Chain A
Amino acid sequence: NAGVMQNPRHLVRRRGQEARLRCSPMKGHSHVYWYRQLPEEGLKFMVYLQKENIIDESGMPKERFSAEFPKEGPSILRIQQVVRGDSAAYFCASSKTGDSYEQYFGPGTRLTVT
Chain B
Amino acid sequence: RKEVEQDPGPFNVPEGATVAFNCTYSNSASQSFFWYRQDCRKEPKLLMSVYSSGNEDGRFTAQLNRASQYISLLIRDSKLSDSATYLCVVKETGFQKLVFGTGTRLLVSP
Contact = CB atoms under 8 A, between A and B. Distances in A.
Contacts, number: 50
Given A43-B44, A43-B87, A107-B42, A98 B101 contact: no
Contact of B99 (A45, A91, A98, A105): A45
B59 interface: no
Interface bracket on A: 20 to 34
Chain A interface, >50% SS class: strand
Interface residues of B, number: 21
Contact of A56 (B4, B91, B97, B101): B97
A44 B45 CA distance: 15
A44 B99 CA distance: 7
Interface string B29-42: 00010100000011
B20 interface: no
23 contacts: A33-B96, A42-B87, A42-B100, A42-B101, A43-B98, A43-B100, A45-B97, A45-B98, A48-B97, A56-B96, A56-B97, A58-B97, A59-B97, A93-B98, A95-B96, A98-B96, A101-B32, A101-B49, A103-B98, A105-B44, A107-B42, A108-B42, A108-B43
Given A43-B100, A101-B91, 8 more contacts: A33-B96, A35-B100, A48-B96, A59-B97, A103-B98, A105-B43, A105-B44, A108-B43
Interface of B: 4, 32, 34, 41-46, 49, 87, 91, 95-103
